[in-house]
Amino acid sequence: MRFEFSTAGRIVFGPGTLGELHGAFREQGARRLLIVHGANAQRANPLLEIASEAGIVCLRYSVPCEPTTDIVMEGVRLARESECDGVIGFGGGSVIDAAKAIAGLAANPGDLIDYLEIIGRGLPLTKPALPWIAIPTTAGAGTEVTRNAVIISPENRVKVSLRSPLLLPRLAIVDPELTRDLPPAITAATGLDALTQLIEPYVCTRANPMTDGLCVEGMHRAARSLLRAFENGAADGAAREEMALASLFGGLALANAGLGAVHGFAAPIGGMFPQAPHGAVCAALLPNVMRVNVRALRERDPGSAALHRYDQVARILTGSDKATADDGVEWVANLCAALHIPTLGSHGITATDIPLLVHNASRASSMKPNPIVLDSGELAGILHVAI
């Protein structure tokens, strides 16, 4: 047995922990920060007030959508020209991915394309990123504790990663109170992304004892809290806290174990259909991927440990010690229905897109740890059902 475990330099979790930025600013010693936030700039006002009280000069940079190569490079230009000595990512997964990439590239020479996998030169970052702090405002992506930033290349119609251990933040502050005002649709999509990122690392080929514990604990919390957060998230602080923790655990697990076919599809879908939110795509795919994986394992590898793990997933989700993998698939499908998850077709994906999506997904890095290799027919079948 051999595995590694890497994460942010420090993680602070709990309601009200945003206020601990005062001490973090003193420790970091930054005087000029680039604040990367989402489309709603007002959400970042409490952060800016804390920075102002600490005597720190802040520059704003808005990332209104999933980060593209141009969005990232514009942020890098701003950070370099303004001589920023630190970065804060304050927002959902897209914002934090953008902040992560900007912090890394601002401290390294060259252009983004020099370091991107697949479409770029794939060079390694050689210098540590600018000191940066990740503050998620959604509960789903877990990217505050991962070492890759997912970026869209519009000209290539693909999503690719900037990947390096040097991209891990100095500090991740996970304050569940920041998720209280999320609308139900975003709560549903991001919450199912979090659940996916607990199930896939648990059944994947790179699972290890450390990530197993995180996945099991996270699944218990998501199973009892996601629907509550969706139905009454503004008032149910306990559900918001549980989902924030589930998201964090999912990020820790995927960064140190891997994912599977859901995310293998999500990357090429996001590249070809950037209007399709990542969490909603994962949610639409999850029950179908689980169903096909279980069937393929039974047919071609009935002795696989992954089948036992799918049974365990079902017992955690349903709360029944007699549940089987099929019960787990049904539970997830029913949850998706209760959360009003839209089909892939609602994002403009049609049957004519399936061959290219299957081709691209079969080469995606996230597909490699899937518990069994799925053939093109099985992959196409997943998409047909999800559309």
The DSSP secondary structure of 278-315, one letter per residue, reads HHHHHHHHHHHHHHHHHHHHHHH-TT-HHHHHHHHHHH
User: The CATH number of the domain where 110 resides is what?
Assistant: 3.40.50.1970
CB 311 within 8 A of CB 321: no
The answer, yes or no, to whether residue 165 has pLDDT greater than 90, is: yes
Element (H, E) at 89: strand 86-91
DSSP track, 14-70: STTGGGGHHHHHHHH--SEEEEEE-S-GGGGHHHHHHHHHTT-EEEEEE--SSPBHH
Sheet bearing 11-13, strands edge to edge: 11-13, 171-174, 132-136, 86-91, 32-37, 57-62
Q: What is the pLDDT of residue 54?
A: 87
- Residue ending a domain, choose from 178, 211, 243: 178
Say if residue 199 is in the same domain as residue 170: no
pLDDT at residue 262, rounded to an integer: 98
* Element at 147 (helix H, strand E): none
Whether pLDDT at 117 is above 90: no
Would you say residue 86 lies in a domain?
Answer: yes
In a domain, 5, yes or no: no
Q: Does 1 fall in a domain?
A: no
Token pair in block for residue 25: 């600013």
What per-residue confidence (pLDDT) applies to 221?
98
Residues 49 and 189 in one domain: no
- Residues 209, 187: one domain? yes
Residue 3 falls inside a structural domain: no
Of the candidates 225, 263, 260, 231, which has an alpha carbon nearest to the alpha carbon of residue 244? Answer: 225
CA angle, corner 121, sides to 116 and 125, nearest 5? 60
Distance between CA atoms of residues 68 and 73, nearest Å = 9
Do residues 193 and 71 share a domain?
A: no
Whole-structure pTM value: 0.96
pLDDT score for 120: 86
Q: Are 142 and 190 part of one and the same domain?
A: no
> Is there a domain that residue 275 lies in?
yes
- Residues 260, 308 share a domain: yes
One domain, residues 284 and 231: yes
Residue 33 to residue 58: CA distance in whole angstroms? 5
How far is C-alpha 211 from the geometric centre of its chain's CA atoms?
16
The residue type of 236 is: D
Residue 133 placed within a domain: yes
Q: In one letter, which amino acid is 350?
A: T
Kindly tell me if the per-residue pLDDT of 228 is higher than 80: yes
Confidence of residue 371 (pLDDT cuts 50, 70, 90): very high
Q: What is the pLDDT of residue 79?
A: 97
Domain boundary among 178, 198, 227: 178
Q: Quote the pLDDT of residue 27.
A: 78
Answer left, alpha or beta for residue 348, where phi above 0 means left and psi between -120 and 50 means alpha. Answer: left
88 pairs with which residues across the strands?
A: 35, 133
Predicted pLDDT at 118: 83
Cβ neighbors of 101 (< 8 A, separation 6 or more) are 67, 72, 75, 76, 112, 149, 151, 162, 167
pLDDT, tens digit, 9 for 90 and up, residues 333-364: 999 999 999 999 999 999 999 999 999 999 99
pLDDT tens digits, 184-220: 999 999 999 999 999 999 999 999 999 999 999 999 9
What is the per-residue pLDDT for 323? 98
| Res. 241 pLDDT band, cuts 50 70 90 | very high
Rounded CA-CA distance 177/5 in Å is 28
Residue 73 pLDDT > 80 = yes
Residue 28 has pLDDT above 80, yes or no: no
Instruction: Please state the length of the chain.
Output: 387
pLDDT band, residue 22 (cuts 50/70/90): confident
**Is the per-residue pLDDT at 75 higher than 90?**
yes
What residues form DSSP beta bridges with 34?
A: 59, 87
Q: What pLDDT is recorded for position 132?
A: 96
Mean pLDDT of 291-309: 97
pLDDT digits (tens, 9 = 90+) for 92-113: 999 999 999 999 999 999 999 9
Q: Residues of the chain with pLDDT > 70: what percent?
A: 100
Question: Residues 254, 380: one domain?
Answer: yes
pLDDT at 12 over 90: yes
Residue 238 has pLDDT above 90, yes or no: yes
The two counts, helices (H) then strands (E), for the chain are 13, 8
pLDDT tens-digit map of 205-215: 999 999 999 99
User: What single letter denotes the amino acid at residue 7?
Assistant: T
Let me know whether 150 and 200 are in one domain: no
Distance of alpha carbon 364 from alpha carbon 271, whole angstroms: 12
Q: What is the DSSP letter of 138?
A: S
* Domain boundary, last residue among 150, 178, 206: 178
Give yes or no for a contact between 33 and 132, defined as CB atoms under 8 angstroms apart. no
Other Cβ atoms closer than 10 A to 276: 20
Across residues 67-91, what is the average pLDDT? 96
101 three-state secondary structure: helix
Q: What is the pLDDT of residue 36?
A: 97
pLDDT at 293: 98
**Three-state DSSP state, 342:** coil
pLDDT at 4 over 90: no
Q: Assess whether pLDDT exceeds 90 at residue 135.
A: yes
CATH label of the domain that carries residue 377: 1.20.1090.10
CB 180 within 8 A of CB 16: no
- Do both 198 and 64 map to the same domain? no
- As given in the structure block, the two tokens for residue 201 are 């690392």
Q: Is residue 2 a part of any domain in this protein?
A: no
Residue 290 structural domain: 182-386
Report d(CA 135, CA 232) in Å as an integer.
23
Counting the structural domains of the chain, the total is: 2
281 — pLDDT class (breaks 50, 70, 90): very high
pLDDT bracket for residue 24 (50, 70, 90): confident
Residues 86 and 198 in one domain: no
Q: What gap in Å lies between CA 245 and CA 224, rounded to an integer?
A: 13
- Residue 274 is assigned to a structural domain of this protein: yes
Q: Are residues 249 and 282 in the same domain?
A: yes
